[in-house]
């Protein structure tokens, strides 16, 4: 009982705000994200929810399989998943955000693709009145392990002019072109998080979920 109470208190003070962060059983409310003008146009198959692989190897949860088609060279074109969500307007000094990705064995690691997790913060609901954003990622360089989960994170992303009132956010997970020697690349995304004003480890935020 003492352990449960401690973990509940930690969660209350360091809440992961991302809806369905672990892709538990469904893709929703995540939707497809494709870059568009004035950025290079992203092209890719619609994202799919798959039972495996899963960050915790739990087929009852699953992950999002995303795809990018690079047959048309377009540096920085991107394809993946994203969602916008509201929360009570909060004065924010810094955020702790991130997500995990896995390179399937069939995906070539040739330096042509970067897996990116991005957060964008807004002053108004429904992702209006952009404040700032940040991203973390990793390029699929030759020799990068496949069928292995990697986490892209920044646990101390400080907002310019902090504290700043924030009322909504958009979180994205996507594949971004750097080169285009092949036509198609895939990756899985899972285990997203966005925490305001706390660097509490993600494992505490998700205690007992999976």
The confidence score (pLDDT) of residue 139 equals 96
Domain map of the chain by residue range?
A: 2-205
Name the pLDDT band for 209 (thresholds 50, 70, 90). very low
Residue of 24, 47, 22, 26 lying closest to 149 (CA atoms) = 22
The CATH topology of domain 2-205 is Jelly Rolls (2.60.120)
Q: Which two tokens stand for residue 115?
A: 């897996």
* φ and ψ at residue 49, rounded to 5 degrees: -85, 130
pLDDT digits 0-9 by tens, 124-172: 999 999 999 999 999 999 999 999 999 999 999 999 999 999 999 999 9
């Amino acid at each position: 009982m003492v352990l449960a109470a401690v973990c509940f208190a930690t969660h209350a003070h360091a809440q992961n705000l991302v809806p369905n962060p672990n892709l538990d059983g469904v893709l929703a409310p995540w939707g497809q994200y494709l870059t568009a003008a004035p950025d290079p146009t992203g092209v890719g198959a619609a994202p799919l929810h798959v039972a495996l692989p899963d960050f915790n190897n739990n087929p009852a949860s699953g992950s999002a399989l995303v795809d990018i088609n690079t047959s048309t060279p377009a540096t920085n074109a991107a394809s993946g998943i994203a969602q916008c969500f509201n929360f009570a307007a909060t004065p924010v000094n810094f955020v702790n955000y991130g997500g995990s990705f896995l390179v399937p064995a069939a995906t070539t690691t040739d330096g042509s693709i970067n897996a990116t997790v991005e957060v964008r913060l807004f002053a108004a609901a429904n992702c209006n009145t952009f404040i700032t954003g940040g991203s973390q990622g990793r390029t699929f360089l030759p020799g990068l392990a496949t069928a292995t989960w990697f986490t892209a994170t920044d646990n101390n992303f400080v907002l310019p002019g902090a504290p700043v009132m924030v009322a909504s956010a958009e979180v994205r997970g996507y594949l971004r072109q750097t080169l285009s020697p092949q036509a198609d690349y895939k990756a899985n995304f899972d285990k997203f998080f966005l925490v305001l004003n706390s660097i509490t480890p993600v494992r505490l935020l998700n205690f007992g979920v999976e």
